[in-house]
Amino acid sequence: MDNPFKQRLKEARKNSNLTQAQLAQKLEVSKTMVSEYESNASSKAPSLNTLIKICRILNVSSDYLLGLSNDNTIIQMELRGLSDEQSQPLIQIMSMIEQLNELKEKEDNNN
C-alpha cells in the first residue's frame, strides 16, 4: 500500500503558505528534517509528538495525513453531517478566530 503521508504533508504545508523553513521553525526541528519528512527518497517519519504539532500547525487531521481519511481539515471532520449551508458560517467564524490567534501570536512574539 502506498504511503500518502509525504505528499499530503507537503500539500498541507503549501496550503498553509509555509515554507519548509517556516514549518521547521514552528516544529522546532531543522529544515532538513522537514525536507526528509516530505521526500520520497527518505524513510524519515516524525515522532508522535511532532505529528501532533504538524496537525495543529497545518490544521489537518492525523487521519488525513496518514491516508486514513480524505477529509483534509479538522474542521471538515468536525462538521460531518451538516449541510454546506449549515457549516459555512461555522467555518467562517473558525477561520476568523484562527486569524485572530495568528495576529495575537505575532504580537506576543514582538513583545
- Asked if residues 14 and 59 have their Cβ atoms less than 8 Å apart, the reply is no
Size of the chain in residues: 111
Residue, of 86 and 34, whose pLDDT is higher: 34
pLDDT value of residue 72? 66
| Residue 74 to residue 47: CA distance in whole angstroms | 20
Highest mean pLDDT range out of 20-24, 90-94, 106-110? 20-24
- Asked if residues 77 and 43 have their Cβ atoms less than 8 Å apart, the reply is no
pLDDT in tens, 35-60: 999 998 888 889 999 999 999 899 88
